[in-house]
Amino acid sequence: MSPSAPAPTVDTFRDEVRTWCRAQIPGDWRATQTGVSEDEFVRFQKAWFGELREAGYAVPHWPREWGGGMSVEQQVILYQELAAHDAPRLVLPFVSIHHAASTLLAAGTDDQRRRHLPAILEGEIWCQGFSEPEAGSDMAAIRTTARRDGDRYIVNGQKLWASGARHADWCLLLARTDPDAPKRHGISYFLLDMRTTGIDVRPIRQATGESHFCEIYLDDVVIPAADRVGPENKGWQVAQQTLGAERGMTMLELTERLGHGGFGWLLSECARPGADGTRPVDDARIADRLAQFEIEVDGLRMLVGDFVAQDNPGPADASVVKLYYSELLQSMMDFGTEVGGLDAHTALRKPLSSGWESACWMLDFVGSWEWTIPGGTSEIQRTIIGERGLGLPREPGGR
């Protein structure tokens, strides 16, 4: 959809997306993306992103002047159709198009936006350097330092759980610029070129067999002052823009994926006859669980729809959405593993370009725990909801 073209009607737009999906989504992508090398995964992800970009579907949530401009209603339709037609997930560019873009649009300079937003559309990959070994959910406790030296900063420290860091061109980095300030007041936010001297990226082998997460070691890494986002020592406030994207708008797509993919796969699993010829769905207890999941998915859709339609969401609304989604995902994948069992698949492998709704239940369940930890654990989300949403008093001695 051209940025200057008039918006199509809802029905026309759905027909356009549906027609495109039927023509462009490779029907064999799950088979061809299972067991592939990292290089092939990267190639496929970039090629698929290019297909979406050419159609105008890659960044529908961006402003029109930067290549987006879809209404919330159109975005819902787009993600419904992509999920219904089992399109590959944009796993590799996820941080780029959501976290990096949201941060630049909200707090970046005009030069930073002009430099990076078009590059992201051309395939520039970003990772996120927030968490550290001693600062996971408590980001205010980070120890990585950035010392001002004229028109540059010298950065030293370590980051952990950086998704896709070994393939990233740039990194969203938090570092402490004032070691004497209170924890949240001495942090600055930077854009780090991952080709800079002094960076060592080490993949972390996960329980699922993948190495999506990485450690990043920073040894006298130089970052130009022009690559700082927002004022010095105000990085905590900028980081809330990044985390808001992770807890909020990204859920629009993920909700449809969970409904069509996760719940759809679950229905198929429960309708499949077992070795004795019986179907799990014929068990009243299982049918009851499926009905409950369907209700919860519909509730999530309404919750997300209400959230993205608001011009000024409440201070805890994004946390409510993130908590609801992540725990529902985990519960559904747990149930799929319980019903499907370890013998549901001959090999514990899933397509790298799928999410945690691939129907390889054991890996989906293990991977689903990822969503209750990054971007603030479920415990952190409940604290935010209690304090910012409900106005409950902060626990004495708490953060």
Instruction: State the CB neighbour count (10 A cutoff) for residue 288.
Output: 10
The pair phi, psi for residue 56, each rounded to 5°, is 85, 20
Q: What is the pLDDT of residues 102-142, one digit of tens each?
A: 999 999 999 999 999 999 999 999 999 999 987 766 777 89
The answer to whether residue 264 scores a pLDDT higher than 60 is: yes
pLDDT for 249 equals 65
Any idea which residue has 């060592």 for tokens? Answer: 200
30-36: list long-range contacts, CB under 8 Å, 24+ apart.
Answer: 30/86, 30/351, 30/354, 30/358, 31/351, 33/88, 33/351, 33/352, 33/353, 33/354, 34/349, 34/350, 34/351, 34/352, 35/349, 36/352
- Write down the residue that tokens 């002047």 correspond to: 65
Check for a shared fold between 125-232 and 248-389: no
Residue 247 banded pLDDT, cuts 50, 70, 90: low
In the set 16, 81, 132, 246, the catalytic residue is: 246
Whether the CB-CB separation of 129 and 122 falls below 8 Å is answered with no
Most confident of the following: 139-143, 242-246, 314-318, 330-334: 330-334
β 170-176/126-129 pair status: parallel
Domain ranges of the chain: 10-92, 125-232, 248-389
Per-residue pLDDT of 50-88, as tens digits, reads: 999 999 999 999 999 999 999 989 999 999 999 999 999
Average pLDDT of the chain to the nearest whole number: 90
Q: Which CATH superfamily is domain 248-389 in?
A: Butyryl-CoA Dehydrogenase, subunit A, domain 3 (1.20.140.10)
Q: What local confidence, expressed as pLDDT, does residue 288 receive?
A: 97
- What is the C-alpha separation between 41 and 45, in angstroms, rounded? 6
Nearest-angstrom CA–CA distance, 3 and 1: 6
Q: What is the pTM of this model?
A: 0.88
Residues making up the chain, counted from first to last: 399
Q: Say which CATH superfamily domain 125-232 falls into.
A: Butyryl-CoA Dehydrogenase, subunit A, domain 2 (2.40.110.10)
Which residues, including other chains, have CB under 8 Å from residue 324's CB and lie 6 or more apart? 299, 300, 303
Of 344, 301, 346, 308, residue with least CA distance to 324: 301
Per-residue confidence (pLDDT) for residue 69, from 0 to 100: 92
* Share above pLDDT 90 across residues of the chain, in percent, rounded to a whole number: 65
Does position 395 have pLDDT exceeding 90, yes or no? no
Confidence of residue 4 (pLDDT cuts 50, 70, 90): low
| Structural Rg of the chain based on CA atoms | 21
pLDDT, mean of residues 17-25: 97
Asked if 246 is an active-site residue, the reply is yes
